[in-house]
Amino acid sequence: MRIAMIGTGYVGLVSGVCFSDFGHDVVCVDKDPAKIDTLRTGRTPIYEPGLEDLMRRNVEAGRLSFTGDLAEAAAGAQAVFIAVGTPTRRGDGHADLSYVFAAARELADVMDDGTVVVTKSTVPVGTNRMVAQTIRARLDETGRKIGFEVASNPEFLREGAAIEDFMRPDRVVVGAETDRAREVLREIYRPLSLREAPVMFTSLESAEMIKYASNAFLATKITFINEVADLCEKVGANVKEVAKGMGLDGRIGPKFLHAGPGYGGSCFPKDTMALARTGQEHAAPMRIVETVIAVNDARKRRMAEKVIDLCGGSVNGRKIAVFGVTFKPNTDDMRESPALTIVPALIGQGARVAVCDPAGRKEGEALLPGVEWVEDPYEAARDADAAVLITEWNQFRALDLARLRGVMKGDGFADLRNVYDPAEAERAGLRYVSVGR
């Protein structure tokens, strides 16, 4: 099939590349000329393991191309996916849908008769019907007499494992209410039938809600175990043992029960906020979700206090080494990372901060002014009074703790991801603190 993908951000690019690997003819379109130029040279503007190689292979096979011209991309396409950003709107916490509706209006001018317009961006309930209204209104303005369908196809991609998630999904959710839309989406995802991946067809509203409810539930699991970790510290329990014991219950499961400095990223913060706002507007308040948001924000601040406490109540004039500032490993995404709260709080208290992160510097230089960027963790820790592990990149999971202590001036080590064994850290001469242990 021929597919057009509007937007070459994280969701659009990964989806477009993977659809082309299914064997479809995919054209990705973006208004940013610099992005298109980068993609045409075989490089990706985002960090995602395996994506660049997969993209190059499908470009060479003639199944994948990039353009800045929407008319060129939409010509002959049976399906056009809208995969533009929906950031949190300033002031009210809602998802900003301006890019979605702008894409819909522009698409109405160039799409072919019978096109299925598929929203892949994360959007609040009711948005797809508004997309349909937007397209109809524009067609009426211009006098174009064509038919079209609208469908919802939310993404469930984990940054750092997006290709695996796309190729071997737990499920594919499609909101579609006409035979034509269901037929096109079923054909697009037909290659997954060989892997027996379930494709679930729902109403438009149910598909939109599944995305938000899923992310809110996962954010709740993270926040729950973080609060349990705080109690574990007070009563002498070990949160890793508690989480394992909980996770062995098939009704609960082990995933997302890892205590840490709080969730971040491009999805959980904005999606929980948008769901809470939707509930308020419809007089069905999401009290649990509202609490999750507040607790997570407070947790990031508490992690900075944990580091300051480790340094005797003051970091003024002290050097702190920070390992990892992206919101999770295997991505360069800094959005809502706990480090964006922790590091500025330390600097604000007078600390000198040296940061080591395999991929975070590109975004981090603008977001974390005043830090020193270092390529090697031991160099970052040289003469440091304390070290802090915020993001559990693989290279920070196997540090030689004795060597680390040897290059440091002080002996404090705050492991905010519970990577290391406390006894091992203490044998290396470190004053070790973790989360919930």
**Does the annotation list 257 as a binding residue?**
yes
**Does the annotation list 256 as a binding residue?**
yes
Catalytic hit among 232, 267, 311, 356: 267
**Does the annotation list 227 as a binding residue?**
no
Spatial contact of 391 and 323, defined as CB atoms under 8 Å apart: yes
Task: Give the N- to C-terminal CA distance of the chain in Å, as an integer.
Answer: 53
**Does the annotation list 211 as a binding residue?**
yes
> Which amino acid, one-letter code, is at 142?
T
Burial class of 425 by CB neighbour count within 10 A (0 to 12, 13 to 18, 19+): buried
The 3-state DSSP class for residue 286 equals coil
Between the alpha carbon of residue 311 and those of residues 231, 246, 409, the distances in Å are: 22, 33, 12
**Does the annotation list 270 as a binding residue?**
yes
Structure tokens at 169: 């999904």
Spatial contact of 143 and 210, defined as CB atoms under 8 Å apart: no
**Does the annotation list 30 as a binding residue?**
yes
Q: Which residues pair with 356 in a beta bridge?
A: 323
Phi-psi region of 367 (alpha: psi -120 to 50; beta: other; left: phi over 0): alpha
Distance (Å, whole) CA 410 – CA 307: 13
**Does the annotation list 62 as a binding residue?**
no
**Does the annotation list 391 as a binding residue?**
no
**Does the annotation list 282 as a binding residue?**
no
Between the alpha carbon of residue 295 and those of residues 111, 291, 302, the distances in Å are: 45, 6, 10
**Does the annotation list 259 as a binding residue?**
yes
**Does the annotation list 240 as a binding residue?**
no
Q: Which residues pair with 353 in a beta bridge?
A: 320
Find the Cα–Cα–Cα–Cα dihedral 118, 121, 122, 124, rounded to 10°. Answer: -60
**Does the annotation list 260 as a binding residue?**
yes
**Does the annotation list 22 as a binding residue?**
no
Our answer to whether residue 311 is catalytic in this structure is: no
**Does the annotation list 142 as a binding residue?**
no
Annotated binding site for NAD(+): 30, 35, 86, 122, 159, 270, 335
Annotated binding site: 30, 35, 86, 122, 156-159, 211, 256-260, 264, 270, 328, 335
Annotated binding site for substrate: 156-159, 211, 256-260, 264, 328
Which residues are the active-site residues? 267
